[in-house]
Amino acid sequence: MACGSEKVLPYNTDERKTTQIGRMFDSIAGKYDLLNHTLSLGFDKRWRRKGIAGLKPFAPRTILDIATGTGDLAISMCKSLKSARITGADISEGMMDIGRAKAAREGCLGRLFFEQQNCLALTYEDCSFDAVTAAFGIRNFEDINKGFSEIYRVLKPGGCIMILELSSPGKFPMKQLYTIYSKMVIPNIGRLFSGEKAAYHYLPASVKVVPQGEEMVGLLNRQGFTDVKVQTFTGGICSLYTGRKRKKNT
């Protein structure tokens, strides 16, 4: 069964969602970091730190960061974790070009590599990575179950998954405040600074219908992940999902 966010498209054309997402992010790549940090009021940096802290006990040596975008999470992991190699994968070369320049400035090249990939059809071999991460990219998947299947496939047995995703607050007053902010502030500021109207209407629309909470946990469980947990931050605006791939002897 299709998830709600899979049906939300940036441009509502006959193109596949994956193609539209790549084109959209190529068009806003130069403004993305500024707008991302501004529109999240800087909370996105704190959310990434929370996600990385959850990975530290597992000491992963190889990490795949899918939907890496401009590499904020990958770069932060490179600086915070003693991992041998981090691969940032994304459909948008425009976003990754920004990420490569940032990684060079931060001294991460040599341990952090960027590769264009369709996250629904990864080219990596089975059981290649100790951890797979994704920050704010699952809602952009054309087929979330297929994306989770690919993540499960490329993880080593016992490997961990860490997903950060935006979510819709469910309690007063954050629910009401977020609704106003997402309908009025995000599209208008996004259009003003990026010149891309569609992208910043797509963002709140996709967040509204992406699987959240126990629904997302259920998707991960059905894929075969174990020890799946969810935490929410900032009144429910961001959700953190973690889990493990089953070990061969279990």
Read off φ and ψ for residue 46, nearest 5 degrees: -65, -40
Q: Residues for the chain: how many in total?
A: 250
Pairing of strands 155-166, 238-244: antiparallel
Would you place residue 180 in the very low, low, confident or very high pLDDT band (cuts 50, 70, 90)? confident
Would you place residue 147 in the very low, low, confident or very high pLDDT band (cuts 50, 70, 90)? very high
Nearest to 124 by CA among 94, 97, 85: 85
Assigned domain for 250 exists? no
Instruction: State how far the Cα of 124 lies from the Cα of 115, in Å rounded to an integer.
Output: 11
Tokens describing residue 167: 């979510």
Assigned domain for 249 exists? no
Residue 100 CB neighbour total at 10 angstroms: 19
Assigned domain for 236 exists? yes
Residue 221 CB neighbour total at 10 angstroms: 14
Would you place residue 204 in the very low, low, confident or very high pLDDT band (cuts 50, 70, 90)? confident
Assigned domain for 183 exists? yes
Judge whether 65 and 77 are in contact, CB under 8 Å.
yes
Question: In the chain, how many domains are there?
Answer: 1
Which CATH number goes with the domain that contains 172? 3.40.50.150
Interhelix angle 186-194/197-209, nearest 10 degrees: 150
Assigned domain for 224 exists? yes
Domain carrying residue 197 = 4-244
Please determine, for residue 247, whether its predicted confidence score (pLDDT) is greater than 80.
yes
pTM of the model: 0.94
Please determine, for residue 195, whether its predicted confidence score (pLDDT) is greater than 80.
no
Residue 227 CB neighbour total at 10 angstroms: 10
Burial class (CB in 10 A: 0-12, 13-18, 19+), 19: middle
Please determine, for residue 206, whether its predicted confidence score (pLDDT) is greater than 80.
yes
Read off φ and ψ for residue 176, nearest 5 degrees: -70, -40
